[in-house]
Structure 1
Amino acid sequence: MPIAPTLRRALPVLAPLLLLASLLAACKREPEELAGATSEPAATVRELVEHLRRDDLAGFARAAVPPADHAALETAWREGRSRWPLTELPLSQQWVPMLAALSRPGSEQALMRDFNRQFARQDKDLRDAARSLGLFGVQYLKKEGDYSPTQRLHYTQVVQTLSEWAQEAPLADPALARNTINRMAAAARKAGLASEQDLREAGMDGSLRRLAPVFTETKASFARYGLALDTTLADLRTGLVEQKGDHATVRIHYPLGNREIDSQVSLERRDGRWYLSDYLRAAERARTSMPPAGEPPAEAAPASPAPSTAAP
C-alpha cells in the first residue's frame, strides 16, 4: 500500500494525538530557573524549603538562625517566652488548643458529630463562606496589620488562591472529613503535645521533632482536598533580586492551587552564612522579651490570618 495516501487518511486521527503528546511534553518540562538562582542567598531559601518538604521541622529551625540565636530561642521556648517557628504559621495561638482537641479520648466521634451538625453536605454555604472570607482577608491585608508592602502582596495572593481552592474543594464531604479527623487525631496523639506545659518540657527542638507527624498529616490532609502542598514545596524556585554587602533580596516563585505566587524576602549575612531577616528579628525578640506574669509569650502574636481562611 502506498505510504503517502495512508498517511493522509491517518492524519485526522493522528493530529489530535500528536497535539496531545506535545502538550503533555510541554507540561513535563522543568520550569526555567530564576535569575540568580545559583547565588548563596537564593540557595539558602531553597535549603530551608527542603527541610519543610522532608517534614524536618527541627532541621528547619537549626538552619534558619545562627547557632547562638537557636540556643536563645530554645531557652525562650522552655521559659514560655517564644513559640518560634510555630508563630510563622497562621493563627499560631490556635495550634495548642487544636492539638488538645484532637488528642482527647473519643475526639474522633465528638469532632465528627460537630462536622455533621454544622458542615456535612452544606456545599453551597461553605462555598459562599470561602468566597466571603477571601474577600474579607484581602481587604484586611490591604488596610490592617503590621505588614511590609512585599508581605501584603504575598499574603494577598495566598488568600485569593486559598479562597478559590476552597470554593471547589469537597469540604462538606463526610467521608473525607471522617478520614481526615481520624488521621489527624492519631498524629496529634503521637506528638503528645496537648498543652503549653508539654511544649515547655519538650523544648523547641524536641517539640518540633514530635510535631513532624502532625505536619506530615496536615500536608496529606490538604492533598486529599485537592491542594498539593508537597508539589508547592518541590516546585518552589528562587532567584537573586539584589545583593548589597551583607544584605540581599531573594525572589520566591511557587505554584499554589491554580495560581503562581510571586514574592520577595530579605536576607542578612552573619558569620559567612545567610539568614532571613524576619527570623533574625524573631530571635532578637526572644532574647529581649520578658512579659509580666499572666501575659502571653512575646512570640505568640497571631501571624497572618490569610493562609488558614479556608482550611478544611
Structure 2
Amino acid sequence: MRFHSLRHLLLAFVAVLALAACHNKDKDQQEAAKPGGDTPEAAIQQSIDLIKANDFAGFWKHALPPAEYATLRADWTRPKPEQQPITDEDRAKFAENLRQFTEVDAETKLYAQFKPKLAQMQLQYKDQLPIMIGIVQQIAKTGIDQDKQMGDTQKQQARDVLGVLAPWAQQVPWFDQDKAKQAVGTVVTTARKLGLKSADDTRKLDFDSAMQKYAIGFTGVKQLLGIYGLSVDDSLNSAKVTPMESKDGHARVKIDYTLLGKPLSTEYALVQQDGRWYSEDMLRHVHEAHARLLAPAPSASTPAPAASAAIATKM
C-alpha cells in the first residue's frame, strides 16, 4: 500500500514538472513571438537567441516595433538610390561563377584549380602575411578612430575586437591544403543551397526569401570560419546580458562574451515603445534607410552640392 502511494506521489511529482516545463516552454515561445522585450536585457537576449537559431526573419520581427517592421518589409523591394544597375558583364560574371560553384563535382574541380595556386601563394606570402595583416590592422584602427558615427565607447569596443582578430589571422594556417579543401567544399555546398539562378535574382528577392538566403549564407560563413578555428557559435553561446541603467524609457545593457577565448564586452542602448524595449541603433537605421528611399532624386537642373560650392567660389 505504501509502495503504491509512493509511486503515485512520484508520478504526480513528475507530471507537475512536465506541466511546468510545458508551461515555461509555451511562455518562452509566446514571448519570442512578441516584438521587443519586456525588459532591456530580455530584448537583447532574445535577439542573440534568434541569431543563434539562424532565424533572421524572426530576428527582425522581434527587433523592431510592428510599424517599423512593416516599413522594413515594404521597403525591401524598393529600388535603392545608391544601387548601380546590373550590366550584361555583371550577369555574365555571375553566371560563370555560379556555374563553377554549382556544377557536378564542383568541389573536386575547384580544388584542383586552387591547389597549385595555394602552393604558389604559400611560397610568396608565408613570411609576409603577418606583416600584411598588421598593416591592415593599423589601417582599420585609423578608420575606427576617424569614424564620426561611432561614439568613444563603440570605438574602443571595435578596437578590442580588432585586437583579438588580428593576432588570430596572423597565426591561421591559411595555406593548409586540407583546410583549403574543406573550405572549398563548404563554399560549394552553400552556393548550391542558396539556389540563385542569375544576378537579377539577387535584386528580386522579397523579404522572406532574402531572410532564408541570409540564414543559409550565415551558416556557410560560420562553417568556413570554424575550419580555421573561429567558432561564432561559441561566442554567441558565451554571451551574458547584464542591465546597466534604465530611466525615463531609455536603458543600457552590457554584453560580456568571449571571442577566440578572449573576454570582451559591448554595450547597447535601448528605448521603450508601447511597453516593449528595442535597440536605439536598429530603430535609427530603419528610419534613416526609409528616409533615403523616399528622398526625391536630384533633378538634372539642380547642381550637386559640390558643383554648387564650386560655382559659388568662382562667382
Normalised to the residue count of structure 2, the TM-score between the two structures is 0.68
* 1:71 matched residue in structure 2: 70
The alpha-carbon deviation at position 115 of structure 1 amounts to 5.3
2:243 pairs with one of 240, 253, 262: 240
| Number of corresponding residues | 244
Return closer, same or farther for 1:261/1:77 CA change in 2, 3 Å cut-off. same
Contact 2:141 2:159 in 1 (8 A): yes
- Provide Cα deviations, 1:191-235, integer angstroms capped at 9, x if missing partner: 134766424422122211122122112111111111111000001
Instruction: Give the superposed CA RMSD.
Output: 3.2
Q: Where does 1:65-144 land on structure 2 (aligned, <5 Å)?
A: 65-81=64-80, 100=94, 104-107=98-101, 109=110, 112=114, 116=118, 119-120=121-122, 122-144=125-147
Instruction: Quote the Cα distance in structure 2 between the aligned partners of 1:247 and 1:281.
Output: 14
Report the Cα distance in structure 2 between the residues aligned to 1:270 and 1:144, rounded to whole angstroms: 29
User: Is the radius of gyration larger for structure 1 or structure 2?
Assistant: 2
Deviations 1:234-282 (A, max 9, x none): 0101111110121101111110014211121111111221111111012
The match for 1:41 is 40
Structure 1 counterpart of 2:44, one-letter code = V
**Match of 1:175?**
178
Identity value in percent: 27
Instruction: Give the letter aligned to residue 283 of structure 1.
Output: V
SS in 2 for 1:135: helix
Q: CA deviation at 1:119?
A: 3.6
Question: Could you list the per-position Cα deviations for residues 63-107 of structure 1 after superposition, in whole angstroms to 9, with x for gaps in the alignment?
Answer: 111122111111211113399xxxxxxxxxxxx99x958951124
SS across alignment from 1:55: coil
Q: Pick closer, same or farther for the CA change 1:210–1:114 going to 2, 3 Å.
A: farther
Aligned to 2:282: 279
Using the alignment, how far apart are the partners of 2:270 and 2:38 within structure 1? 12
The aligned counterpart of 2:253 is 250
Of 194-203 and 54-63, the range deviating more from structure 2: 194-203
For 1:105 and 1:120, the matched residues in 2 are separated by: 28
Secondary structure in 1 aligned to 2:54? coil
1:208 equivalent to 2:247? Answer no
Name the CA distance, whole Å, in 1 between partners of 2:96 and 2:46. 32
Q: Which has the higher contact order (CA 8 A, sep 6+)?
A: 1
| Separation in structure 1 between the aligned mates of residue 254 and residue 263 of structure 2, nearest angstrom | 13
Unaligned runs of 5+ in 1: 1-37, 84-95, 295-312
Determine whether 1:60 maps to 2:59.
yes
Q: Distance in 2 between matches of 1:178 and 1:292?
A: 49
